A and B are shown apart, each in its own frame.
Chain A
Amino acid sequence: MNTTKSNERLLDVRGLTVEIDGRNGPAVVVDGIDLYVNKGETLGVVGESGCGKSLTMLSLMRLLPNKIKVTKGSASFDGNDLQKMSNKELRKVRGGDIGFVFQDPMTSLNPVMRIGDQICEPLIYHRKMSKAQARQRAVELLRLVGIPGPEERLQAYPHELSGGMRQRVMIAIGLACNPKLLIADEPTTALDVTIQAQIVDLVKDLRAKLGMSVVWITHDLALIAGLVDRVAVLYAGTVVEDAPVDELYSRPSHPYTRGLLASIPKLSDAPASRLSSIGGTPPEPGRRPKGCPFAPRCPLAEPVCHERVPKLEPLAGAGNHRAACFVVQKVQEAA
């Protein structure tokens, strides 16, 4: 196992709430999220499109667009509250202690800048390196992320590289300043399957080498099974379940998690069988149900589920397995 892992919290998000100023008044998109990442740990954040995964991560770094605001909650990183920092302090954290890898490598690199210069940018800005030092480090970084012929590639423009190569460059930029935390926002969605596996292996490898924490946002539970230590499942802007990865797969305790796991196709399924799916759609922001947000789609829902919102609480007999569900028992029995 990873020896650098500890129980010290690196990132601790509590009750983070994000609202969008819409035409019909503010709509809650992230509703009191509780998340934490320990030092050296890899957390997978899973959920379907629009459940607030990316918004949560962007709001941590206060990178939200104009009309979207954090209204409640705190996010402390290494003991400092990111929400209360001055812009200047925050800029030091961005790209310095927290590296970010974006979803779409095709559009997340500046098209008119050579990739060498883009990798050098945070080094010159945060580490006050000279141009020559930064370039040397950029070559190291490109080699680290497995790009052949790094000296030549420094001169390339983003459009001259393939998608996988560009994502490697993004990772190199994210890693440039040896961050304590790397946030990867669906870094493999835009890539094809073989490249996805390569990127996952790359990050796994780098995490061990550099001893950093990783938050990997994805909607693909199967992809990250071998990568992450712990998984937080998001639904409609709240964490519904949070458990070590093996525990989550073997004992899913929220009906939504169960549905997600069941919807991964298996080779052992009968060839003509229907793919399993969760009926219905997530609630729209601003039109959240009164009780548990998943209740309308939940096959096991009881009257209480429509009345009150369940809290994320530790399960009996498993200290770091938490779920927000009134009918945990029923879920575990059904599984």
Chain B
Amino acid sequence: MSAIPLSTIEATQEEPPVNLWRDAWYRLKRNKLALFGLVVVLILGFTAIFGPYLTPYDYLTQDLQARNAVPSLHHLFGTDDLGRDVFSRVVFGTRTAFLVAIVVTFIAVAIGLVLGAIAGFFGNPFDSAIMWLTDVTMSVPNLLLVVVINASLKTPIAKWMEAQYMATLNPFYRQTIWVDFFLVFGSMALISWPPYARLVRAQVLSIRSRPYITAAQALGLSNWVIMKRYVVPNALGPLIVSVSAGLGTAMVLESAFSFLGVGVNPPTPSWGNMISDGLRVWQHYPHLLAAPAAVLGLASVAFSFLGDGLNDALNPRGSK
């Protein structure tokens, strides 16, 4: 075969990427929407971490002289009915939203990953049992479950905390905010894991029987290497996409719960309870509703664009 060596005629190219992740980054960069999503997510992330230190006002400071003020240079998003700076509250709400989203998604993915992998890998009877559990969990209406958990556990836990405080005088037990978070995070994770479990199970099931797994075994690679380099990277695409979209969903979910009064409790600002408050007076003070709703919408859209972009980037076959 007289092949012309391509290396001599090929013009110099930029250094090609050498692994899956750098490759994915290359493709992600070319996707405008995904890039937009990434930038928004990064800005929101930055805001969540540093925002509360940079805002001109504290999110709790009330200025009763300037209640329900319209947006101005002093108060970018105006003030609410207690004269609190809405911009500062939205910024702090970002922190709440990220905290909820990350913790909830992390717990849900952890549960889903373990259960899904066990179900997919070991098969019956684990498979049937776990899938039964997922079906049951998914069949219970989400809001109902969360409301029930809150209604039934909140008071006992609060009482127990009070008793602990009385017994130990440890101020830790006075911080009801942790109880709130614990309940909100816990109940949200409890309803969020089944899709991840199903996804992981399906992935593991289908990848386990692919010929390239047998081929990798025939190369003498250890199970660990096969898991790391063959099973996981092939299962990861859908999971990452799902996680990215799931972060947005968790934020919306938290807002929905706050809106119904079972989410993060005031005075801690969350976009949900701000929307809930704003909705009551939106005819008169639309900015109270618009600001948190817009940010929530933006965050949700950004996460799903990013998820889509990651899907394309992590799947070399799917891209052009």
* Chain A positions near chain B (C-beta within 8 angstroms): 58, 61, 63, 65, 90-96, 100, 102-104, 107-113, 117, 121-122, 125-126, 146, 148-149, 151-152, 155, 157, 159, 170, 173
Contact = CB atoms under 8 A, between A and B. Distances in A.
A111 B222 CA distance: 19
A108 B210 CA distance: 8
Contact of A61 (B212, B218, B317): B218
A146 B211 contact: no
Contacts of A159: 316-317
B268 interface: no
**For this complex, into which size category does the number of interface residues on chain B fall?**
20 to 34
B216 interface: yes
Interface stretch (B4-12, B143-151, B240-248): B4-12
Contacts, number: 99
A149 B2 CA distance: 11
User: Which of B5, B209, B210, B218: most chain A CB closer than 10 A?
Assistant: B218
Interface stretch (B58-66, B164-172, B226-234): B226-234
B219 interface: yes
A105 to B, nearest CB: 9
Contacts of A94: 217-220
Given A104-B211, A107-B212, A95 B6 contact: no
Given A90-B220, A102-B211, A110-B233, 19 more contacts: A63-B214, A65-B209, A92-B220, A94-B220, A95-B219, A95-B220, A96-B220, A102-B218, A109-B215, A111-B212, A111-B234, A111-B317, A122-B220, A146-B1, A148-B3, A148-B6, A149-B5, A157-B316, A170-B215
B219 A173 contact: yes
A100 B211 CA distance: 12
User: Which of B10, B219, B316: most chain A CB closer than 10 A?
Assistant: B219
B212 A149 contact: no
Contacts of A146: 1, 3
Nearest to B4: A148
Contact of B218 (A63, A149, A155): A63
B225 interface: yes
A104 B6 CA distance: 28
A93 B220 contact: yes
Interface in B1-40: 1, 3-7, 10, 16, 19-20
Minimum-distance CB pairs A-B, first 5: A149-B6, A148-B3, A94-B220, A95-B219, A95-B220
B210 to A, nearest CB: 6
A95 B217 CA distance: 9
Contacts of B16: 155
Contacts of B163: none
B3 A91 contact: no
Given A108-B212, A148-B3, A152-B10, A91 B316 contact: no
A267 B242 CA distance: 58
A322 B208 CA distance: 40
Contacts of B220: 90-96, 122, 125-126
Contact of A110 (B10, B218, B229): B229
A111 B218 CA distance: 17
A91 B216 CA distance: 11
Contacts of A126: 220
